[in-house]
Amino acid sequence: MDTRYPVKGLYVWLPYGLKLRNNVLMIIRELLEKTGHREVLFPLLIPESLFKKEAEHIRGFEEQVYWVTHGGKDKLDIRLALRPTSETSIYPMFALWIRSHADLPLKVFQIVNIFRYETKMTKPLIRLREVTTFKEAHTAHTTSEDSEAQVKAAMEIYKKFFDEIGVPYVITRRPSWDTFAGAVYSLAFDTLAPDGRTLQIGTIHNLGQNFAKVYEIKYEREDGGHEHVYQTCYGISERVIAAVVMVHGDNLGPCFPPRVAPIQIVVIPIPFKEDKDIEEAAKKVAGELEAAGLRSHFDGRDIRPGRKFYEWERHGVPLRLEIGPRDLKQKQVTAVRRDTGKRFTIPLSELLPVVKKTLELMNVEMREKAWRSFSRKIHDLRKIEEMKKVMDERAGIVRSPWCGEEKCGRELEEKTGGSVLGEEIGSRTKGMCPICSKPARTSILIAKSY
């Protein structure tokens, strides 16, 4: 990205980064479409009258909203909000679309920009004032069981998504004091940055009937009665792209899993005297891979191969293929993996299947490696002093037994210096709450967070 754009919290996507972004989006789009979500596109502007209907929602967002107050020289009668998220633009339309139980469930999503006047330190890809890549899904259901089931379905979709891009995560139910504005409860996916701080990379909200009541989204039941719908919404942003970069990168820079890499394979001729055959052979290899649907790039620039190696390593290209005089003679290419540095040769006769298999293997191995290093940074602890030490040293996430009481959660934050991510989904920790010494009902995750 170019971070020099002269407005705080706004950044410019450059071609290579934008390719990465679009590859990531293709995955989530596919997953959503396969699970019955249909893509829509709503306007950016929301009239103040609509925006201000749900009291909790306003309270959560009022400090963060940008307002359009003028059209040219005219002051607008009704101010227009730049969407900070789209509940208040989408749900009035849901009220028009939904008539009977036959219209439900309704599942839509859009990928848009949103604006939030963030007051914490802004950061490219992580905390933006114009989030350029906001995927938000919104669903409506006939019963609370159905919306509950949708929350679980969304969790499965996100798990698949993060597995595809090789990003490890913990899933928590956010504490009551940190629930999305207007939601009954919120789930969050968090990953770890290399500096030991967590990054929230996705959320799922059960909205109950809160919005349905204020936007009057009702359906006719089979028995003729009318009822408000039950809703959910779930979102991710370009933070997931930050996660891909952070999780797989090393001292040389990024290292992209082939699944999302802007360029998957770079082919570099190792020139020998004025030998044109080598260049031709390298070009042919790149062309063959390209024709098979792989993202390959032939680098025929007139600079030293060593410099090319260095540049493409720093661009995180997963696989490098070299062709020198010896390779040409032996009818092979020399391959080098970006993630492990491992070198091996591939006979030209087996080029395509071996390259494909290598890229597949790299996806799996990079994901597993990321998970191993992630798991090592989750610390099961019982003593407050030890938890505090993990926070002080930015050593990752603490898992502690917890009675489930808000008061104890808050006190854990104060005493350890971390923040509560929430109650871990699917964990059953034995032991007792380190604050009140009552038997633990669940486990709580604590971390220094972005």
Q: How many CA atoms lie within 13 A of 254 on its CB side?
A: 20
**Residue 136 found at the interface with ligand 5CA (CB under 6 A):** yes
Taking CB under 5 A as the criterion, the residue among 229, 268, 403, 444 binding Zn ion is: 403
**Residue 212 found at the interface with ligand 5CA (CB under 6 A):** no
**Residue 201 found at the interface with ligand 5CA (CB under 6 A):** yes
* Region binding ligand 5CA by CB under 6 A among candidate stretches 157-165, 169-177, 233-241, 245-253: 233-241
Q: Which does 202 bind (CB under 5 to 8 A by kind): Zn ion, ligand 5CA, none?
A: ligand 5CA
Q: Is 166 or 182 the residue whose CB approaches ligand 5CA more closely?
A: 182
- What binding mask, one character per residue, do residues 36-75 give for ligand 5CA by CB under 6 A, x or -? ----------------------------------------
Measured over the CA atoms of residue 287, residue 288, residue 291 and residue 292, the dihedral's sign is: negative
How many residues form the binding site for ligand 5CA (CB under 6 A)? 20
Taking CB under 6 A as the criterion, the residue among 128, 155, 214, 397 binding ligand 5CA is: 128
Taking CB under 6 A as the criterion, the residue among 21, 37, 116, 399 binding ligand 5CA is: 116
**Residue 234 found at the interface with ligand 5CA (CB under 6 A):** yes
What is the nearest approach in angstroms of ligand 5CA to the Cβ of residue 255?
22
Taking CB under 6 A as the criterion, the residue among 51, 161, 162, 180 binding ligand 5CA is: 180
* Region binding ligand 5CA by CB under 6 A among candidate stretches 231-239, 254-262, 286-294, 295-303: 231-239
Q: Is 124 or 325 the residue whose CB approaches ligand 5CA more closely?
A: 124
Q: Which two tokens mark 323? A: 């062709």
**Residue 205 found at the interface with ligand 5CA (CB under 6 A):** yes
Q: Which two tokens mark 238? A: 């370009």
Q: How many CA atoms lie within 13 A of 48 on its CB side?
A: 11
Q: Which two tokens mark 51? A: 């925006």
What is the nearest approach in angstroms of ligand 5CA to the Cβ of residue 79?
21
What is the nearest approach in angstroms of ligand 5CA to the Cβ of residue 182?
9
**Residue 207 found at the interface with Zn ion (CB under 5 A):** no
* Region binding ligand 5CA by CB under 6 A among candidate stretches 45-53, 71-79, 230-238, 306-314: 230-238
Question: What residues does 343 pair with on adjacent strands?
Answer: 336
**Which parts of this chain interact with Zn ion (CB under 5 A)?**
403, 405, 408, 433, 435-436
**Which parts of this chain interact with ligand 5CA (CB under 6 A)?**
85, 87, 116, 118, 127-128, 131, 136, 180, 200-203, 205, 233-237, 239
